[in-house]
Amino acid sequence: MPDPAPPPNASPNDKPIPGTVGVLRIFGVPIRLHFTFLLLLVFLIFIGIGGKQSGMATAIYIIALFGSVLVHEVCHALVARLYGLRTSEIVMFPIGGVSRLEGQPKPRQELPIALAGPASNLVIGLVLLATQHDFLPLATLSVPTDANLVERIAAGNLLLGLFNLLPAYPMDGGRILRSLIALRKPEEEATQIAASAGQFFAVAMGLFGLLSGNFLLMFVALFVYLGAQQEGAAARGRSLTSGFPARAAMITDFRTLSHGNTIREAGDLLLSTSQQDFPVTHGDEVIGLLSRSALMRAMLREGPESYVAAAMDRNFLRVPPDADLATVLPQVLSAGHAALVMDGERLLGLLTAENLYEFMLLRQVSQAQARMTHRE
Ligand SMILES: [Zn+2]
């Protein structure tokens, strides 16, 4: 089951994945259930009904597989802890677990962290098989009975371990591949190569799922494809922005609103400029940020004659001018509105997703140009 790498620059105050409920803590790591997990339970109970096994065996089978996925994730978390990396949470999705690490492990650390999960399932599977005196033929496993319960749990674990070792980033095997490439190449490049391999495997997996009528596999393939695409884009973004200060990409030609301006005036400014988010000032001091969505909300709820001071966000995203753009990039993208580049209390500029995108385009073009001149 897929197990995406932690989001880049995940921080301790990261919000939990939406749609989850916290259920328990293991070794201090919160384990959350994604609400779609209920679908899996319904599905498993449904396929359990068709077999010749008792209700008790069905329940044991489901709990054992759930426990196996959990052991897999907890093993990732424990090995990460050996390197001083905390796991902010483990989320159980219907197609597997996802552990989110705080921060990015170094390539040498990622290899054992990624290996720990699948290895735990292979060990569980082999130990369970070893407890069985006479092996049943493999074909009998497809019909669930009470007699082959242990073999099925063992087979489930072996499958879980082997499947996760597929070199399809962001699954564990893909992360192992990335960490091996990163021993010889820069990390961002390694991520991009592993992400491309992940997309290739996801397409192959999806086609296989389609041809064999395995919809669960097609679903997993889609999950892997999107994960790989996202990680690849994030790595490209990091490599294009890393080493540049925030001031290099900021907008310096911008308009501000005064706290005494009305929402109507803010709306006029929104139309007459290409700006979407406006810093709100009180004298020389910046006291908030009025985003386009907050403006619209205020227009709807409070009316055009209300003041921007009531609608603005006082806890806006502040960025020091010398902050590394690679660190700022995910913050601006997840904020969904502009960040204010501030030197102490002095406003220097705005950073928006569009501007960061344009900065990256320019970097890409200049890199391509540098390669062309190099070749000549
Ligand atoms: Zn894993």
97: CA distance to ligand 1 center in Å?
7
Mean model confidence pLDDT for the chain? 82
Question: Taking residues 68-95, what's their average pLDDT?
Answer: 84
Q: Which residues surround ligand 1, an ion (CB under 5 A)?
A: 3, 117, 172
> Is the pLDDT confidence value at 121 over 60?
yes
pLDDT-derived band of residue 7, with 50, 70 and 90 as boundaries? very low
Q: pLDDT, tens digit, for every residue of 300-357?
A: 998 889 998 888 998 889 999 999 988 888 888 888 888 999 998 889 999 998 888 9
List the single range of 9-13, 270-274, 289-293 with lowest mean pLDDT. Answer: 9-13
pLDDT at 140 over 50: yes
Give the pLDDT confidence score for residue 88 in this predicted structure.
Answer: 79
- Which residues are within 8 A (CB) of 366 and not within 5 positions of it... i.e. 6 or more apart? none
Ligand 1 centroid – CA 170 distance (Å): 9
pLDDT of residue 4: 44
Say if residue 104's pLDDT is above 90. no
Count, residues in the chain? 376
Ligand 1 centroid distance, CA of 177 (Å): 14
| Peptide bond connecting 4 to the previous residue in cis, omega within 30 degrees of 0 | no
Here the tokens at position 367 are 């890199």
What does the pLDDT average to over 113-140? 83
Going from the Cα of 326 to the center of ligand 1, the distance in angstroms, rounded, reads: 26
Residue listed under structure tokens 């590394």:
324
Residue 257 Cα to ligand 1 midpoint, Å, equals 49
Distance 274 CA to ligand 1 centre (A): 45
pLDDT confidence tier of residue 3, bands split at 50, 70 and 90: very low
Quick check: helix, strand or coil at residue 367?
helix
Residue 10 — very low, low, confident or very high, per pLDDT cuts 50/70/90? very low
In angstroms, what is the span from residue 76 Cα to ligand 1's centroid? 7
- Tell me how far the alpha carbon of residue 262 lies from the centroid of ligand 1, in angstroms: 52
CA distances from 369 to 125, 168, 249, 361 (A): 54, 32, 20, 12
C-alpha 169 to ligand 1 mean position (Å): 11
More confident residue, 79 or 375: 79
Higher pLDDT, 189 or 139: 189
How far does residue 144's CA lie from ligand 1's centre (Å)?
26
Where residue 368 falls among pLDDT bands split at 50, 70, 90? Answer: confident
Residue 10, token pair as written in the block: 């995940």
DSSP assignment, residue 246? G
Residue 24 and residue 11: Cα distance in Å, rounded? 21
Name the H helices within 245-342: 263-272, 292-301, 308-311, 325-335
Ligand 1 centroid vs 82 CA: distance in angstroms?
Answer: 17
181 Cα to the center of ligand 1, angstroms: 19
Distance 13 CA to ligand 1 centre (A): 23
Q: What percent of the chain has pLDDT over 70?
A: 84
Reduced to 3 states (helix: H, G, I; strand: E, B; else coil), residue 329 is helix
Q: What is the pLDDT of residue 37?
A: 64
Q: Residue 171 C-alpha to ligand 1 middle, in angstroms?
A: 7
**CA–CA dist 187, 213 (Å, integer):** 37
